[in-house]
Chains A and B, each alone.
Chain A
Amino acid sequence: MLKTNIRWMLLGTGLIVLVLLVVAACGRFGGLYHIEPKAMDEFAGSSKIPLDVALVLDSQLCNYIYVSKRQHAKRVFELGETLCTNMKDMCTSLFRTVTVVSKKDEGLTGNVDAVIIPKVIDTSALVRPGAPPDFEATMIYECTMIDPNDHPIFVRTVKENKVLETYSKNSWGTVMQTTVDAVFSSLGNEVVGSPEIRKYVNKMN
């Protein structure tokens, strides 16, 4: 009888600890995560697209912050600075010249072949509890290239969804960093392989 009770006592204590750990993993604790820029050297080898472009980096994008709230815990992801740095570095690697402007009109009136307008459509971070819990981050990022007459040349909406199945101190930050890095890898590859940009280049020349 005593042995049975000790077993229940141990099981109960173990479960209390486990529940507390899982609840913690569910995300009771908030945090501030600064997402770092990505090295754009993967596009360094490719020949530059012979276009002079204006890149619109507005304050909305460069100050972009995503806040995720769950069970009163706030997680703040500082993304804007990195989104602008990555975009600028990527365009510099891919195009002949890049002029950074803060408004679309400034780009259209400038002496450029095309204007590039990036935009965050949505960001999401959530946890799917389990053992170990799944930390999931999603980013949807739209990139539009227009000609000086404001007609679209190229539009891509890149969607990246990454899952991290490990619980650590910085799981949220790690999964968001992986997602943002993947967004720019995908977008860069889309630009490099774009038949519509190639067609536009041929038309320009």
Chain B
Amino acid sequence: MRTENDHVWGGPFFKPLSILMSLVLLVACTTTKPAVIDSELAYQSGSEQQKEGLRIYIRPLGNKKEIKKYFGADLLAKNILPIFVLIENKSESTFFLFEPAGADKWVENEAGATTGKSGTEGSTYISAEDAKKSVYEKSGKVFGLDLGPPPAFWLVAIPFDMLDADAGPTDASKSLQQALITQALRKQTLTPGKTEKGFIYYQIPEDVSSINTFGINLKATNIETQDEIYFRFTKTMDQEGQNVKN
């Protein structure tokens, strides 16, 4: 037998509410932790150079699925190309300081190379900090829900500060920012026998069809002699699928 009370508090109200709440619980603020850099990256087709006992292996991640694995988001859609770098100091007594090279340095050290930019045809090296800033997406959410512009009655119900347009980054944006920083290649002196790995980032233009090839330049400094060694790689980008040919 159906009572008035059932009608108000029973199925018609609580059943859909329960389902709605379950959905809110699932989607309100979930983020997936990206995978840590594993050995898998170092054993796939990439490019390698060796100079003065230093081995450099690089592999641009042009595959969206792979990028999502390590960053939790499609970086190519945000015009950032992550490049995996592995450096191995195979020398017996030389210490190196390793870092991505700026455009000017490369021109300085590769005589005759007039197009020696760190990134050619529109792609440029950006630091992990700049990459982090470029993926910032502010959240307009209230209690985890994107409710759009607030209606007038909210002014009574919600504290004034919550109506501020910038609620902070979205969870996904914050997770991506953290991944960009933590997965980045760290600046280190590399002792003999030591290996270091991480990602460096290149900003690519919105219209990828304008890029055919781009250059990746890396610098190692022998910390005893202060001699600088440059490594230059040229890569081709697939104009259709944004894939990078290794």
Contacts and interface: CB of A to CB of B under 8 A. Distances in A.
Interface of A: 1-2, 4-5, 8-9, 11-13, 15-16, 18-19, 22-23, 26, 28, 68-74, 121-122, 124, 126-130, 134, 136, 138, 140, 142, 151-157, 159, 161, 194-196, 199
B89 to A, nearest CB: 11
Nearest to B33: A128
- The 4 A-B residue pairs with the shortest CB-CB distance, nearest first, are A69-B168, A5-B10, A12-B14, A157-B186
B167 A71 contact: yes
B27 to A, nearest CB: 10
B188 A155 contact: yes
Nearest to A161: B182
A11 B17 CA distance: 10
A130 B29 CA distance: 9
Interface residues of B, number: 55
A72 B164 contact: yes
B114 interface: no
A13 to B, nearest CB: 8
A72 B31 CA distance: 18
Contacts of A155: 97, 187-189
B188 A1 contact: no
Given A9-B10, A152-B189, A138 B162 contact: no
Question: Among B21, B128, B139, which residue has the most Cβ atoms of chain A within 10 A?
Answer: B21
Chain B binding surface, main DSSP class: mixed
B154 interface: no
30 contacts: A1-B1, A1-B6, A2-B3, A5-B10, A8-B10, A8-B11, A12-B13, A13-B14, A15-B17, A16-B21, A18-B21, A19-B25, A23-B28, A69-B168, A69-B169, A70-B139, A70-B171, A72-B161, A72-B168, A124-B174, A124-B182, A128-B31, A128-B32, A128-B33, A128-B171, A129-B171, A140-B182, A151-B223, A152-B221, A194-B191
A130 B14 CA distance: 24
A164 B225 CA distance: 45
B24 interface: yes
Nearest to B36: A161
Interface in B1-19: 1-3, 6, 9-11, 13-15, 17-18
A156 B6 contact: no
A41 B28 CA distance: 44
Nearest to A13: B14
B143 interface: yes
A127 to B, nearest CB: 8
B177 interface: yes
A27 to B, nearest CB: 8
Given A122-B132, A126-B174, A152-B221, A8 B139 contact: no
B14 A8 contact: yes
A134 B10 CA distance: 35
Given A152-B97, A156-B188, 10 more contacts: A1-B6, A8-B10, A11-B14, A23-B28, A69-B169, A71-B141, A129-B29, A140-B186, A155-B189, A196-B189
B79 interface: no
Given A4-B11, A9-B10, A15-B25, A71 B189 contact: no
B223 to A, nearest CB: 5
B106 interface: no
Contacts of A18: 21, 25
A119 to B, nearest CB: 10
